[in-house]
Structure formats: structure tokens, C-alpha cells
Amino acid sequence: MVATQTLNEWLPHLLDKPWLDSLAPELRIVLAVSSLTLIPVFVIAMTAFTRIIIVLSLVRQALGLQQTPPNSVLIALSLFLTIFAMSGVFEQINNKALLPYANGSIELSAAVSNGIEPLKGFMLSQTDEVHFIRVLDMAKVPVPQSSADVSLTHLVPAFMLSELTLAFKMAFLIFLPFLMIDLLVASCLMALGMIMVPPITVSLPLKIMVFVLIDGWSLITGSLVQSFM
């Protein structure tokens, strides 16, 4: 019966306090520690992190740099940009779920339900209707009548598909000027008869110089944050 329920229906019941109180303290500690491993999954699947990290990674590829900036730098930058872009959502979660639960005014199940609602609103605002309808068609379920009826099991994959699509569209526009530099350098070297010189040797410093002169990192990160507003 539980397997057929949607995620946003059975998750609050799963975290119901009487059920947790029935467990031994050792089992509750193991459950709490194990649940921490799901945090990266939620960060990737339900926040702005996916779009940001994909665009930044493809910018690195467009520049022709394989390991610079390192993955750790891109991930840290993506995390802080995610926090910045979703500060309003996190503030709602803090006011509606974390603070009331810390004060003891609501139970854990209610805190989870209240915390999910701002995330659902954010994902709905960023999800393309075409992808959402496609996911509903795959699940063979009717279109929800209101946002409250939207299931996380359908919303999360539709949101991720929308994020992937938009990230690749942004990356395509970023790739074009760098591609033009590569083609221009290759044509010049061919015209000069320098066929033994790899074009990347000349185009790489040119692309870096152009990227720095236009303050590329600030432009790209600003555009990414504005795309969520």
C-alpha cells in the first residue's frame, strides 16, 4: 500500500514522531546518520545546483581547459550560487519548518510537509510545461488540478529534465564565440602554412584573454542567478 502512495503523501507519515519514538536510540542514531547520505541527492535534484554546475562545467570545456578550474572549485562555487539564488526559498523553509520544529510548536511530519511546499513552488516555477506533461504521460496519470495535487515523484524528474535542457541551451550560446575563435585561428594557421602548429596552442591563450577582458565569470554567474528570478 505504501509503495503505491506518492512521495509527498507517505514521507510525512514515515517521519511521524510516534513511529520514531518506538525505535531504540541506537536505531534512531543509525537512521539519522543514514539519512544524511540523501542530502546530496536532494541538493542535486531539487535545487538550482544542476543548472549551475552544468553551465560552469561546459564553460570550462568551451575554453579548452580540462582541469582548470578544478572540479572542487566549480562545485563549491555552484553550491554558494545555489544558496544565493534560492535564499528566498531557504528563508521560507526556515520560517515555516525549521524554526517552528525547533520551538516545539509542530511535529516532525508537519515540519517536513511545510518544508516541502516552498521547494515545490520553486520547482514548479522552473519546470517546463512540456517536460511536466511528458512525465505525466509516462506515468499515465491525469494533469493535477492545482499545485497542491502535484506529486514530487512526477515533479522532480520533470524539473531535472527542464534544468538539463535549459543548461544545455545556455551552454550552446556560450560555446559559439569560442568556436568562432577556434575556427579563425585554424584558418589563419592554415593560410600561413603552419599546419604543424596545433590550433589549440594559439587559440587557448586568446580565448582566456577574451574571457578575462569581458569579465566572463561575473557575466555567466550573474546570468545564471538571474535565470532563477
pTM of the model: 0.77
Number of domains in the chain: 1
Residues 229 and 125: their CA atoms lie apart, in Å, by 10
User: Range with the lowest mean pLDDT among 8-22, 120-134, 136-150, 176-190?
Assistant: 8-22
Determine, yes or no, domain membership for 130.
Answer: yes
Is there a domain that residue 18 lies in? no
Q: Which value, to the nearest 10 degrees, does the dihedral of the CA atoms of residues 65, 67, 71, 76 take?
A: -60
Look at 49 and 65; give whichever has higher pLDDT.
49
* Segment 86-123, tens digit of pLDDT: 888 888 888 887 787 777 777 777 777 787 888 888 88
Question: Considering the domain boundaries, does residue 127 fall inside one?
Answer: yes
154 or 78, higher pLDDT:
78
Is the distance from CB of 162 to CB of 131 less than 8 angstroms? Answer: yes
Per-residue pLDDT, 26: 60
At 145, phi and psi to the nearest 5?
A: -80, -25
Q: Domain for residue 27, yes or no? A: no
* pLDDT recorded at residue 10: 46
Contacts of residue 90, defined as CB under 8 A and 6 or more positions apart, other chains included, come to 83
Confidence of residue 158 (pLDDT cuts 50, 70, 90): confident
Question: Is 167 contained in some domain?
Answer: yes
33 is a domain residue: no
* Least confident span in 24-28, 174-178, 213-217: 24-28
| pLDDT for position 31 | 67
Q: Is residue 217 part of a domain?
A: yes
| Amino acid 2: pLDDT | 37
Under a CB-based contact definition with an 8 Å cutoff, are residues 125 and 227 in contact? no
Mean pLDDT of the chain: 79
pLDDT tens digits for range 4-48: 344 444 444 444 455 555 656 666 666 666 767 777 777 788 888
What cell was used for 102? 525547533
C-alpha distance from residue 215 to each of 59, 160, 191, 219 (Å): 13, 29, 31, 6
In this predicted model, which residue has the larger pLDDT, 213 or 13?
Answer: 213
Q: Is residue 187 part of a domain?
A: yes
- The boundaries of the domain holding residue 136 are 43-227
